[in-house]
Homo-oligomer: A and B are copies of this chain.
Amino acid sequence: MNTFHKQSKAYTREVEVRGHLIDSMILTRIFDRVMDLKGEFQVTQFTIGTQKTDPSYARLIIKGNSTQHLEKMLQEIYREGAVPVEIESVKLQPAPADMVMPNDFYSTTNHPTHIYLDDSWVKIQHQVMDKCIIVNRAAKTARCEAIRNIRKGDLTVVGETGIRVEPPERPREGLDVFQFMSSNTSTEKPTTTLIKRIAADILETKKKRGRIIAVGGPAIIHTGGADAFAKLIRMGYVDALLAGNALAVHDVEHALFGTSLGVSVANGQSAHRGHRNHMAAINQIFKAGSLKAMVQKKILTKGIMYECVTNNVPYVLAASIRDDGPIPDAVTDMVEAQRRYREVLKDAEVVLMLSTMLHSIAVGNMLPSSVKTIAIDINPSAVTKLLDRGSGQALGVVSDVGTFVPLLLNYLEKPSR
């Protein structure tokens, strides 16, 4: 202790943090960061929430070997929720050119963030990760902005001071599936029980008129889950669908010919000239002009895309380099596709990710940490990758989407079971 104080105070800073420091592991992570960087800390004050609903409060002195060392540690722990006791104002610099951030730009997390701007805390709008923060000083507002949208002169947050991050609290004592699972991935977990709980969550969310967004891949159709998924849409459980070109093509092939990549979904046999069915489906879409036109012309009369069109469920189909077609409905420009995905995701409460790593990761990158995401994939690596980007609000289910979706529908139809 003595050595701690005797040493120069030049490289110390006093910080404070409050919240569920213990059970949400906030303090653990702050200690970790300091120790990882081989710094020192001294806890000068600690008030523990004596009961489980009380927040805790800690005040620490962080000490480094040099100004740079100290700054390095502070920058890390600020991201974990610590703030200096003496509040500093956020630093701003104008963007030097269109689509260029100042060198020292602050890169955002997906947790709720505030900046200390002109003597008050301002909450960041549209919080997503890996963006910069653009400030409207006059309006006292600030928002996360993607690099391509930055315009020369935009006031951009730089450095790491004057910023307060609220790390996610672990969900507690609720009834939903996120409490139900102690760990985040379902291997060696009872799948049917899990599906029942997810169904209950979906029902609860819809009761409160919360938005549920589905992200899906063509495996839904391959594995025989298309009819059940279409019914989920018809029943109103899906508020928007984010997918790629392939899901729509497979769905239309299935609706027109009963096949998926030429194989009959009903009996598993290769269909006559089945190999050309998905190209024929694409051709029919081009011929009609769009999926919507196909529905209007009564060429497309069932399936996932049909239900979306009929029930006014918005969808965005992002093209990719591996697409056949892509069909007229697919957004071929990725910058535009991202913009539309983001728009759909506004106010999402629950996101269901069904067997598509590409689109699920895209969506994960666009969500604040507070949105509940449930990822279903038969590949455990895919599930792990999705959760790594997520938060405590993410749940992974390693299962077969071809049995998962029909069973989910079952429980939604008969919730009493």
Name the distance in Å between A169's Cβ and chain B's nearest Cβ: 12
> What number of A residues sit within 8 Å (CB to CB) of B?
120
Question: Residue on B with the closest CB to A267?
Answer: B193
Chain B's closest residue to A274 (CB) is B76
Given that A25-B28, A35-B172, A365-B322 are contacting pairs, would A402 and B334 also be in contact in the complex, using a CB cutoff of 8 Å?
no
Interface residues of A in 94-117 (CB under 8 A from B): 96-97, 99-101, 103, 105-107
CA–CA, A190 and B275, complex, Å: 17
Residues of chain B contacted by A210 (CB below 8 angstroms):
none
Q: A1-B50, A50-B1, A190-B224 are in contact. Are A321 and B358 (CB under 8 A)?
A: yes
Instruction: Evaluate whether A223 and B23 lie within 8 angstroms (CB atoms) in the complex, with A38-B173, A48-B43, A182-B270 already known.
Output: no
A36/B400 in contact, CB under 8 A: no
Task: List the B side residues contacting A205 at CB < 8 Å.
Answer: none
CA distance A337 to B267 in the complex (A): 38
A187 to B224, CA, bound (A): 11
Q: How far is the CA of A194 from the CA of B268 in the complex (A)?
A: 7
Smallest beta-carbon distance A283→chain B, Å: 5
A72-B273, A325-B148, A400-B398 as given contacts; A223 in contact with B188, CB under 8 Å: yes
Stretch at the interface among A10-18, A135-143, A300-308, A379-387: A379-387
Per-residue B-contact encoding for A225-239, CB less than 8 Å = 1, 0 else: 000000000000000
Our pick among B35, B181, B273, B332 for the contact of A23 (Cβ within 8 Å) is B35
Q: A403 within 8 Å of B by Cβ?
A: yes
Q: Tell me if B173 and A1 are in contact (CB < 8 A).
A: no
Cβ–Cβ < 8 Å partners of A337 in chain B: 321
Contact partners of A100 in chain B: CB under 8 A: 283, 286-287
Q: Which residues of B contact A195 (CB under 8 A)?
A: 403
Which residue from B42, B180, B322 sits with its C-beta under 8 Å from A50?
B42
Known contacts A279-B105, A287-B100: A322-B35 contact under CB 8 Å? no
Query: Could you say which of A84-92, A118-126, A258-266, A346-354 contacts chain B?
Result: A258-266
How would residues 388 to 409 of chain A score, 1 for a CB under 8 Å from any chain B CB and 0 otherwise?
0000000000111011101100
Chain B positions within 8 Å of A329 at CB level: none
CA distance A292 to B3 in the complex (A): 53
A residues with CB within 8 A of B: 1, 4, 22-23, 25, 27-28, 31-32, 34-38, 40-44, 46, 48-52, 58, 72, 75-76, 79, 96-97, 99-101, 103, 105-107, 130, 132, 147-148, 160, 172-173, 180-182, 187-195, 197, 219, 222-224, 244, 260-261, 263, 265-270, 272-273, 275-276, 278-280, 282-283, 286-287, 318-326, 328, 330, 332-335, 337-338, 341, 358-359, 361-362, 365, 378-381, 384, 398-400, 402-404, 406-407
Q: Which 5 pairs from chain A and chain B are nearest by CB?
A: A190-B224, A107-B276, A191-B402, A403-B403, A322-B362
Return 15 A-B CB contacts under 8 Å, by A number.
Answer: A1-B50, A1-B51, A38-B173, A41-B51, A100-B283, A101-B279, A103-B280, A107-B276, A132-B279, A147-B282, A194-B268, A320-B334, A322-B361, A333-B334, A384-B384
